[in-house]
A = this chain, B = another copy of it.
Amino acid sequence: MNKTRILIIEDNDDIRESTAEILELAGYEVMQAENGKIGVEVATRNLPDLILCDIMMPELDGYGVLYLVNKNSQTAATPFIFLTAKAERLDMRKGMEMGADDYLTKPFDDVELLNAIESRLSKKEKLQQFYSQSLDRLTHLLGNTPGIAELHKMIAGRKVRTVKKKQVIYYDGDTVSGIYLVLSGKVKTTKLSEDGRELLTGIYSSDEYFGVPALLLNEPYTEAAEALEDSTICLLPKEMMEELLNKYPAVGKQFIQILSNNLIEKEEQLLQLAYHSVRKRMAEVLIRLCNREERSERSERGERLERTERSKVGTRQDREESSKKNNEHPDSLEQSTGLILKVSRDNLAAMAGMATETVSRILSDFKDEEIIERKGSQIVILDQLRLKNMKN
């Protein structure tokens, strides 16, 4: 096997050369660049396996490098680690949100450096493997017309980004660089009203796209996106999408379906907000969440054959799944009593457009009426039917 090749972009000669030395001793092949511009050139020409990059640099700063590297499909999947002085911590978050994979604060010692690099390289491999599974799943589910296959090939080449719970992926008003696909975890999109209350406009889990309408309209986002739990997502850049849309009608049809579904759902929600009591709205929100849950459960079950090796990756996640299975087997029908939802009151309130206190009160009522049960902050749905027939 070839040596792993690392590119260091750093304007300070001392730091760059000493770092390079450490890495060479550790058995890596090292390339050096003394500013961002050169760095990008080297990256595109030599396609390193990993990039270390300073933020503060003349000519082109670290953000610029990251942006350009991500834009180029050949280098986009390359792990990218920021090197940064301690004072720049705040800017770091921005860097992470732009798609950097990790960061090291200067001064760093040898161990830190090598650890970060190795963990990143191994993680990349794992994620790549994991993602290729969910890709298979997608392909499997959606059939395999010419355009869709291209779409998936494109997804395959993209960098997988991990976001932590509560991390913001984009803000309302940000310019759009592409469309996002959730590989694992959950992401919510929200709109803020002037007085600061938020409305949850969508929840997206595995295999779902978000940020779609903004991309296709070529306008800034009209909503913010935030991870509900630790998630892995994948950015499909605008240029690629447009090319695919222009070439393959099937891709367009795919998105038309998604948009149409969304639209109808939103109209239903409008009706509910307009004329239904909080009580009924709460019930409807719970049902929406149940349906999501059942759907994703079903799609997971359908795949269980082909990926028994997944247990190597997920640990906590698998425990959850088995606990769900217990509650699911007693009656194997759709009408599954005992579905567990994990949502904060705040998110429930933001979905139904009401105050968190009201959510609390209504859930208490539901519990008294034995429609639901509370397990800590989780909600167990006992009687979907009564939720569906909730009077106004």
Which A residues are within 8 Å of any B CB, using their own CB? 191, 193-195, 197, 199, 201, 212-214, 216-217, 222-223, 245-250, 252-253, 255-257, 259-264, 266-271, 273-276, 353-354, 392
- Residues of B contacting A264 in the complex (Cβ-Cβ under 8 angstroms): 213-214, 217, 222
| A194 partner, pick from B249, B256, B392, beta carbons under 8 A | B392
| A273 partner, pick from B195, B223, B353, beta carbons under 8 A | B353
Whether B256 pairs with A199 at a CB distance below 8 angstroms is: no
> In the complex the two chains form, what is the Cα distance from A26 to B246 in whole Å?
55
- Residues of B contacting A193 in the complex (Cβ-Cβ under 8 angstroms): 271, 274-276
- Given A217-B257, A263-B262: A269 and B270 interface contact (C-beta under 8 Å): yes
Max chain B C-beta neighbours (<10 A), residue from A216, A267, A354: A267
Max chain B C-beta neighbours (<10 A), residue from A194, A264, A271: A271
| A267 partner, pick from B217, B256, B266, beta carbons under 8 A | B266
Number of copies: 2
> In the complex the two chains form, what is the Cα distance from A354 to B275 in whole Å?
8
- Residues of B contacting A271 in the complex (Cβ-Cβ under 8 angstroms): 191, 193, 199
Chain B min CB distance to A208 (Å): 15
Whether A216 pairs with B273 at a CB distance below 8 angstroms is: no
Chain B min CB distance to A291 (Å): 16
What are the 10 A-B residue pairs with the smallest beta carbon separation, nearest first? Answer: A274-B353, A252-B252, A213-B260, A259-B259, A273-B273, A266-B266, A193-B275, A216-B260, A217-B260, A213-B263
- Residues of B contacting A217 in the complex (Cβ-Cβ under 8 angstroms): 257, 260-261, 264
Whether A270 pairs with B201 at a CB distance below 8 angstroms is: yes
Chain B min CB distance to A351 (Å): 10
26 sampled A-B residue pairs with Cβ under 8 A? A191-B268, A191-B270, A199-B271, A199-B274, A199-B275, A201-B270, A212-B260, A213-B260, A213-B261, A213-B263, A214-B264, A217-B260, A217-B261, A222-B264, A222-B267, A245-B249, A249-B249, A249-B252, A252-B256, A255-B256, A259-B259, A259-B260, A263-B266, A270-B353, A273-B273, A273-B353
Whether B222 pairs with A268 at a CB distance below 8 angstroms is: yes
- Residues of B contacting A276 in the complex (Cβ-Cβ under 8 angstroms): 193
Whether B191 pairs with A257 at a CB distance below 8 angstroms is: no
> In the complex the two chains form, what is the Cα distance from A238 to B212 in whole Å?
25
> In the complex the two chains form, what is the Cα distance from A1 to B389 in whole Å?
66
> In the complex the two chains form, what is the Cα distance from A194 to B199 in whole Å?
24
Since A263-B263, A270-B270, A274-B354 are in contact, a sample of 18 more A-B pairs with Cβ atoms closer than 8 Å, ordered by chain A residue number, is: A194-B392, A195-B392, A199-B270, A199-B274, A201-B267, A212-B260, A216-B257, A216-B260, A217-B260, A217-B264, A249-B249, A252-B256, A256-B256, A256-B259, A259-B263, A262-B263, A263-B266, A275-B353
